[in-house]
Amino acid sequence: MFFLEAEVPAGAQMIQLFMPFIIVIGVFYFMVIRPQQKQQKQRREMLDALKKGDRVVTIGGIYGEITLLKEDYVTLKVADKVEIKVRRSGIESVQS
């Protein structure tokens, strides 16, 4: 039984102890954090690229055309003589 009692360097024990945690953190980063950051970047670029005349859909499902852009809100024309103000962050997507 003396072959099971071999000395293992202290550094190797620490690596073996923390390896499962390192793997879980790596998987979590590549499966959750990285895709979310990519999606946030695309959304920020879409909101920065808004311009007058774009047809958009709000998070609430309202379709409209941008008639006025301000730093924190946009004005949407949703029908003849009907315009509403919506926060810029409330825009879900731009329609082609």
Same domain? For 13 and 56 the reply is no
pLDDT confidence of residue 59:
96
Q: What is the pLDDT of residues 56-72, one digit of tens each?
A: 999 999 999 999 999 99
Same domain? For 29 and 70 the reply is no
Same domain? For 93 and 71 the reply is yes
pLDDT confidence of residue 13:
81
Same domain? For 3 and 33 the reply is yes
Global pTM value: 0.72
Same domain? For 60 and 20 the reply is no
- Token pair listed for 55: 């047809």
Other C-beta atoms lying within 10 Å of the C-beta of residue 66: 19
Same domain? For 7 and 44 the reply is yes
Same domain? For 64 and 84 the reply is yes
Burial class (CB in 10 A: 0-12, 13-18, 19+), 33: exposed
Q: Which residue has the tokens 């499962």?
A: 20
Same domain? For 35 and 2 the reply is yes
Same domain? For 60 and 29 the reply is no
Write the DSSP assignment of the chain as a string of letters. -GGGG----HHHHHHHHHHHHHHHHHHHIIIIIHHHHHHHHHHHHHHHT--TT-EEEETT--EEEEEEE-SSEEEEEEETTEEEEEEGGGEEEEE-
Q: Which structural domain, as residue segments, surrounds residue 73?
A: 52-96
How many independent structural domains does the chain possess? 2
Q: What is the pLDDT of residues 30-49, one digit of tens each?
A: 999 999 999 999 999 999 99
Supply the mean pLDDT for the chain. 90
Spatial distance between the Cα atoms of 27 and 31, rounded to a whole number of angstroms: 6
